[in-house]
Amino acid sequence: MAWRTNDIPDLTGRRAVVTGVTGGLGLHTALGLARKGADLVVTARDARKASDTVDRIRNEVPSASVDVVSLDLADLADARRAASEVSSTYDRIDILVNNAGIMLTPDSRTADGFELQMGTNHIGHFAWTAGLWPLLDASAARVVTVSSIAHTSAGSIDLSTLTPQGSARRYKSWRSYGESKLANLMFALELDRRAKASGSPVVSVAAHPGYASTNLTKTGPSVGGLSLPGVGMHQITKIIGQPASHGAWPLLMAATDPSLTGGEYVGPAGFNGMRGRPKLVGMTKVARDEELADDLWEASEAATGVTFAM
């Protein structure tokens, strides 16, 4: 039987934290969890957009409990501050969905000097999750990291992109995006391995939305100014991509399916993993490279200055 949102168990009394909820996958993931009774903590960079998102969630789920935490993953100090705020405010986190991200940006840097896509999609989430780790561990939480079918385009990860000096390679937005999403997937798998080795009850699962119609294809290329290619790509995606609500299905399955024990990867079952109901899916050989994953972890600790207290 194909997984459906009706399969999500009752989440009353459980707290879910979702990053990047001002549209697309994050919004629909938050809605799916709220409909099953989860208390939400959502993050966003833009306070106005966050307010609009909360209004929409409460309009669709009048009983929803929704708190907002400001989080800019492109600023490590802010990621650490936000994690500290969440840890000091709440007594538990049952589900963490690391969804926020950026796609196909021009050559840009984070506040700490990292290439923007790797810095936001992976490095920022690494620091944020590390800051939450004691609470996640104490809560026996489920951590979902959102990757992409674009991870298949990356044959490896140039670890110099995890330094402020950056890579000596010529910048290519597609390559950087693919490597950042490979880093997301490898982080999820390595977090699972380390959690199990330390005896932690945390379950780490990865998911990807297939080819979903979200604002990523417009906002990323338009960083620094309007991008006509980005606008064109966005219009094409709106036509041929599956709705963002469907793209959220793998994230919701990864976050709530009790049969998942850690280390799984969930994505659409349809043509080339681009659309359809969610299921367990495969990944590239490099994504399963434990030596590279260990090196990525060490590089991430060096980049962020934080460690997981396992």
pLDDT in tens, 212-266: 655 554 444 444 544 445 444 444 554 455 788 899 999 999 999 999 999 999 9
Q: Which CATH class is domain 8-304?
A: alpha beta
- What digits encode the pLDDT tens for the residues 157-198? 999 999 989 999 999 999 999 999 999 999 999 999 999 999
How many percent of the chain have pLDDT more than 90? 82
- What digits encode the pLDDT tens for the residues 88-105? 999 999 999 999 999 888
Query: Residue 1's pLDDT band (boundaries 50, 70, 90)?
Result: confident
Give the closest residue to 209 by CA, choosing from 46, 71, 28, 30.
28
- What digits encode the pLDDT tens for the residues 209-221? 988 655 554 444 4
DSSP state of 171: P
Distances from the Cα of 76 to the Cα of 70, 98, 111, 180, 300, angstroms: 13, 15, 8, 16, 12
Residue spans per domain, the chain: 8-304
Give catalytic residue positions.
177
| CA–CA dist 122, 114 (Å, integer) | 11
